[in-house]
Chains A and B, each alone.
Chain A
Amino acid sequence: MSILVNSETRLLVQGITGKEGSFHAKRCREYGTNLVAGVTPGKGGEVFDNSVPVFNSVDDAVSKTGANFSLIFVPAPFAADAILEAVEAGVKTIACITEGIPVSDTVRVTHFIKGKDVVLLGPNCPGAISPGEKCKVGIMPGYIHKPGKVGVVSRSGTLTYEAVGQLTGIGIGQSTCVGIGGDPVSGTTFVDILQMFDSDPETESVVMIGEIGGTREQEAAEYIKNDFSKQVAALIVGKSAPPGRRMGHAGAIITGRAARADEKIKALEDAGASIVPSPSEIGTTVQKMID
């Protein structure tokens, strides 16, 4: 199976006629993803890439094409509205690539979907890819991936590619790779994705990539310790960032020490995760762990 994206995915791209949206919609399609619709208000009736219908609203797109996943490239000032439109149209899985969305907008959106049967990846995330299912829903370079049994979950985009590059380089394939987003508030947590990996028979072990700030990694450690049945390798970046200079003090003030790399590493180590000692050793650490 894999998680989130697979051969059953019927992809809709919001913002499909924009520069980024059209570029990546084509790349997803080339990889094998079933792109069924696009939405750009005012461009309804156009055809994208020779055969993909463009609609004025998500509601129209869903009812006419049965789209079940929305990938969002809408500019930051309008992105929250785009996510809410997708939720209201009944789309159950959404990935928002847009970066720079005001935090208060994301707070409203994530609050709105709480308790609903909706998964929101991001904002400010690379999306998700399941190489074995030939399904790519996001901006990651497809060719670095290889079908396999390791799940990857990360807060960062390019660092996810780094992890995948190292894994593929030594012959280790991936079940699904997921970016949950780099913003202080996001729709999905490490725990949410770990739970999905736990019940996915395709996934045998997981690489988790965290960073300084917030306490999401500690929550993941708690979950891994008590409920996760598979092996985890964990990398935390930002060890060398001086504590006085944080990249946004919001979460850090409230959590104090917990936001630091060493505290996160300790929590994950206590939970039984294999700690990746340096960003250049992601592949080798996983290799050792699964051997």
Chain B
Amino acid sequence: MKLHEYQAKDMLSKGGIKVPEGQVAYTAEEAYRVASQLGVGSVVKAQVHAGGRGKSGGIKLARNASEVREVADLLLGTRLVTPQTGEEGVPVSSVLVEEALDISQELYLGIVVDGSLGGDVVMASVSGGMDVEEVAESTPEKLYKLPIDPMIGFQPFQARRLAYLMGLTPNLIREFTSLMINLHKIFSENDCSLVEINPLIVTSDERLLAGDAKIGLDDDALYRHPDLLALNDSEQEEPLESDARKFGISYIRLDGDVGCLVNGAGLAMATMDITRSAGAGPANFLDVGGSADENKVAEAVKIILSDSSVKTVLVNIFGGILRCDVVARGMILGVEELPHINVPIVVRMLGTNAEEGRDILSRSELNVTLVDDMAQAAEAIKSTKYSKSSG
């Protein structure tokens, strides 16, 4: 789960990290009032779950409160398209109005869990304000990484080491050290998967403030943070992805036209690859999960078919815990609820109760082609594509 910038800054501030003066606003009038209290010179920032806002017109400077009102009025209610969103963009329902700062330097700070090291890793760079992935790729020597021991946590000497590597002035070392310790505490206590301060601003009067903040939370740990669950803004999600999540289905919308229904994440990726090798493109990643029942399969089918770009569906099931007859019945349930949609469905079923599943489908009204393996599935996808373009 992702947080908005204003929510992330609130979390940082409560954890003892300084952030610019400011407040979130949902209307242009509210934005005006916030700016009036701040005094002259404000930044207005669209609150969306996507990076690249600066380049896409989502962050604007305003000289006074009236300008803040104008800018907020322009941004609110629109959809912001950034390099990290799809063409449809994401809705701007709130803006963060903040004091404009006198910046002398911009740094980068991040904490993530690194699978290979099996623990948290702190990253820091003097190239703040830039896309960190770009820094990692073009000048990896400028991105400092320090692993954190899970038992003893982040230590002051590690903060000092980063500070010296980045060439911070001696006046800032103590403040930076306490900021880093607070940052890792915030990361651990809230079960974050990502915390980024980019940029960390060094003001000309030598203060450290979080200019921007990005926080991702470990979805699997949300059960122990009910207060954080309330911060979720499902408007920011792709609607089909948010529907899928409600049913415990792992779904990611992609840009192809072959809808994929699969059990298991690895097999789901393999199925997407097969689709691509057939000269088509997957419309989605979908893992229905191991413990799915008929209703969950039906919901998965409905989600796939609700994507209007889907022209063919590929079902690839290797039954283990999940029985193929359950999948077949669920498919029929799902398709029945969307009678106006009639796309061809290519089905490959193997494993537990595969014969029964295939039998149920072949006796049904569904427009199914049963295949035996993934190579045949690819061929069937090719031919449904061909028959459509010729007919």
Interface residues of chain A, those whose CB is within 8 Å of chain B, are: 20, 23-24, 76-77, 100-105, 107-108, 110-111, 114, 126, 139-141, 144, 154-162, 165-166, 182, 184-186, 209, 211-216, 219, 235, 237-242, 244-245, 247-251, 253-257, 278-281
Does B156 sit at the interface, judged by CB under 8 A? no
Contact A240-B320, Cβ < 8 Å, known A159-B267, A253-B112: no
Chain B interface mostly: mixed
A111 touches B119 (CB 8 A): yes
Question: Are A162 and B270 in touch, CB under 8 angstroms?
Answer: yes
Docked complex Cα distance between A247 and B216 (Å): 13
Most buried by A among B191, B194, B272, B320: B320
CB pairs A–B below 8 angstroms (5 shown): A23-B321, A103-B221, A154-B266, A237-B270, A240-B272
Q: A126 to B193: give the CA distance in the assembly, Å.
A: 25
Interface residues of B (CB under 8 A from A): 84, 110, 112-116, 118-121, 123, 132-133, 136-137, 140, 145, 149-151, 188, 191, 193-194, 216, 218, 220-221, 223-224, 252, 254-255, 262-267, 269-277, 281-282, 285, 290-291, 318-321, 350-352, 373-375, 377-378
Known: A216-B116, A249-B194, A256-B136. Is A158-B374 also a contact (CB below 8 A)?
A: no
User: Is B281's CB under 8 angstroms from A162's CB?
Assistant: no
In the complex formed, the residue of B with least CB distance to A252 is B133
Report A-chain residues with C-beta under 8 Å of the C-beta of B218. 102-104
CB distance A254 to B121 under 8 Å? yes
Asked if B266 contacts A139 (CB within 8 A), the reply is no
Is the Cβ of B373 less than 8 Å from the Cβ of A253? no
Least Cβ–Cβ distance between A20 and chain B, in angstroms: 7
Given contacts A214-B115, A251-B114, 4 further A-B contacts (CB under 8 A): A240-B275, A242-B254, A253-B132, A256-B140
Q: Flag if A107 contacts B285 (CB, 8 Å).
A: no
Q: Are A279 and B320 in contact (CB under 8 A)?
A: no
In the complex, what residues of A have CB within 8 A of residue B263's CB? 158
Which residues of A sit under 8 angstroms from B188, Cβ to Cβ?
104
Q: How far is the CA of A207 from the CA of B216 in the complex (A)?
A: 35
Closest to B151 in A: A111
Q: How far is the CB of A141 from chain B (nearest CB, A)?
A: 5
- A182 to B67 alpha-carbon distance, docked (Å): 50
Say whether B115 contacts A279, CB under 8 Å.
no
- Contact call A253/B136, Cβ cutoff below 8 A: yes
Distance, CA A101 to CA B222, complexed state (A): 11
Contacts of B151 in A (CB 8 A): 111
In the assembled complex, the Cα of A229 lies from the Cα of B223 at a distance in Å of 46
- Chain B residues with Cβ below 8 Å from A23 are 321
Asked if residues B133 and A107 are in contact (CB atoms below 8 Å), the reply is no
Q: Which A residues touch B115, using CB under 8 A?
A: 184-186, 213-214, 216, 250-251
Contact of A247 among B112, B149, B281, B285 (CB under 8 A): B285
- In angstroms, Cα B223 to Cα A162, docked, is 33
